[in-house]
């Protein structure tokens, strides 16, 4: 990475130090995220999703960037990192100050209507859901005692009776602005990510098992075009065969460890000496 332009592809493993669990890391709880087909085809599934999300999204909104996110921001500011393509939906890269970010799977803080395309902040929807379901969130106890998935899905026993809010503009179905399993990543995001890969000298994967194709394709693309690929992750990944360097380690400590190796050394202050009772530079 010395003297090179590096693009970083990040996954859920980067956000675990911020208190957001991952899907597939060592010791993580097995999860079965809702699929796109389930969400669009069943009112019951939508009620189940929005009830759990209503409880869990506040936890996501309260999380903060960790040292790994801040290290990438510092590397971008120094011109060492050209940008970040993230599979995460937690917006922590932006909150850390990174400027070039492709949210491959969308963002948890926006909601879109599947009928008219209206996009509203998740906070706006929260006010409506709270009014429609008074006391529902509080009835499940402190959020710190509830297991939360990376997409803000809270593990609660019952969602019976929860009232789902329709689109305020057309009455259509509201969906979080995230890519569900079984749903296609919008073409413009994929094309922008490929352009960043092509513009980079190195691709660094940080905290992703590359289990899903949406991230793995960029590793394969880089390898086909002779771009070195470095992978930092706890546990094996689907992209290991394409890696020039494979490091089984945590992302935060690794990214922080890169800072003194890649950032310019600050200039030392000019020595000051005493001559004839006077201080001279």
pLDDT of residue 159: 79
Residue 18 has pLDDT above 70, yes or no: yes
pLDDT of residue 156: 61
Tens-digit pLDDT profile for residues 217-228: 999 999 999 999
Q: Is the pTM of this model over 0.75?
A: yes
**C-beta neighbour count of 125 within 10 angstroms:** 21
pLDDT of residue 160: 81
In angstroms, the CA 50 to CA 165 distance is 9
CB 15 within 8 A of CB 67: no
Residue 41 gets the label, from left (phi > 0), alpha (psi -120 to 50) or beta, of: alpha
pLDDT of residue 151: 56
**116: annotated binding-site residue?**
yes
User: What is the average per-residue pLDDT within 26-39?
Assistant: 71
Helix pair angle (251-262, 67-77), 10° resolution: 30
User: What is the average per-residue pLDDT within 135-151?
Assistant: 62
User: What is the average per-residue pLDDT within 257-274?
Assistant: 73
Per DSSP bridges, beta strands 119-121 and 106-113 are antiparallel
**261: annotated binding-site residue?**
no
Of 48, 54, 69, 105, the active-site residue reads 105
Residue 274 has pLDDT above 60, yes or no: no
The residue with greater pLDDT, 187 or 62, is 187
Tens-digit pLDDT profile for residues 103-137: 999 999 999 999 999 999 999 999 999 999 999 88
**221: annotated binding-site residue?**
no
pLDDT of residue 181: 87
Q: Which domains can be identified in the chain, with CATH numbers? A: 6-262 (3.40.50.1220)
**170: annotated binding-site residue?**
yes
Residue 276 has pLDDT above 60, yes or no: no
Is 54 among the residues known to form the active site?
A: no
């Amino acid at each position: 990475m010395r003297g090179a332009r590096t693009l970083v592809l990040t996954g859920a493993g980067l956000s675990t130090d911020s208190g957001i669990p991952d899907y597939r890391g060592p010791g993580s709880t097995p999860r079965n995220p809702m699929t796109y087909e389930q969400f669009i085809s069943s009112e019951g599934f939508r009620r189940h999703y929005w009830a759990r999300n209503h409880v869990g999204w506040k936890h996501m909104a309260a999380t903060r960037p960790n040292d790994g996110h801040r290290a990438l921001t510092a590397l971008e500011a120094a011109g060492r990192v050209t940008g970040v393509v993230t599979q995460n939906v937690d917006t922590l890269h932006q909150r850390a100050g990174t400027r070039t970010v492709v949210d491959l799977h969308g963002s948890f803080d926006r909601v879109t209507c599947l009928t008219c395309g209206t996009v509203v902040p998740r906070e706006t929807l929260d006010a409506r859901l709270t009014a429609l379901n008074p006391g529902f969130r509080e009835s499940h106890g402190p959020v710190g005692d509830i297991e939360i998935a990376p997409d803000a899905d809270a593990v609660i026993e019952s969602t019976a009776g929860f009232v789902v809010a329709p689109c305020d503009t057309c009455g259509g179905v509201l969906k979080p602005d995230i890519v569900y399993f079984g749903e296609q990543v919008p073409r413009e995001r994929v094309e922008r990510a490929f352009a960043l890969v092509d513009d980079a000298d190195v691709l660094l994967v940080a905290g992703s098992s590359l289990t899903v194709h949406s991230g793995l394709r960029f590793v394969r693309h880089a390898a086909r075009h002779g771009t070195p690929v470095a992978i930092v992750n706890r546990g094996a990944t689907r992209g290991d065969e394409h890696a020039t360097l494979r490091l089984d380690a945590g992302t935060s400590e690794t990214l922080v460890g890169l800072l003194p190796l890649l950032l310019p050394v600050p200039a030392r202050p000019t020595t000051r000496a005493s001559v004839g009772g006077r201080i001279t530079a």
